[in-house]
């Protein structure tokens, strides 16, 4: 006589190498706690952003922005000059040595 039970037909044997590597099921309360952690992280980040971050004054930001664009312009002009000189040097070498 066969008796129906709530046990799976194919069982798994516990092997010492794989013991403890199974995946636990994620319960609904796990997601609740994850959401609580996320909310706490966002709140603490916002509080740190509002209370602990030191912002520069508007005048200092303007000064730094102007310094940045002046430096960018000088660097761009220097790079363009180097490019022009190298272009002329390669053209001169091509005319005098190759052709």
Q: Rg for the chain (alpha carbons), in Å? A: 35
Q: Which domain holds residue 89?
A: 57-99
How big is the CA angle at 28 (ends 26 and 32), to the nearest 5 degrees? Answer: 110
Rounded to an integer, what distance in angstroms lies between the CA atom of residue 52 and that of residue 42? 15
Domain identity same for 48 and 67: no
Confirm whether 7 is domain-assigned.
Answer: no
Domain identity same for 37 and 69: no
**Mean pLDDT, rounded, for 52-73:** 94
Domain identity same for 94 and 68: yes
Confidence (pLDDT) at 59: 96
Rounded to an integer, what distance in angstroms lies between the CA atom of residue 44 and that of residue 39? 9
Confirm whether 18 is domain-assigned.
Answer: no
Into how many domains does the chain fold? 2
**Mean pLDDT, rounded, for 42-49:** 92
Confidence (pLDDT) at 1: 52
């Amino acid at each position: 006589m066969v008796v129906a039970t709530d046990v799976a037909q194919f069982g798994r044997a516990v092997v010492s190498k794989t013991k403890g590597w199974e995946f636990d099921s994620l319960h609904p309360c796990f997601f609740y706690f994850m959401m609580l952690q996320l909310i706490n992280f966002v709140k603490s980040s916002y509080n740190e952003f509002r209370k602990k971050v030191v912002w520069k004054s508007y005048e200092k930001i303007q000064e730094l922005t102007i310094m940045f664009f002046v430096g960018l312009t000088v660097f761009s002009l220097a790079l363009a000059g180097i490019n022009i000189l190298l272009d002329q040097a390669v053209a001169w070498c091509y005319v005098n040595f190759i052709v």
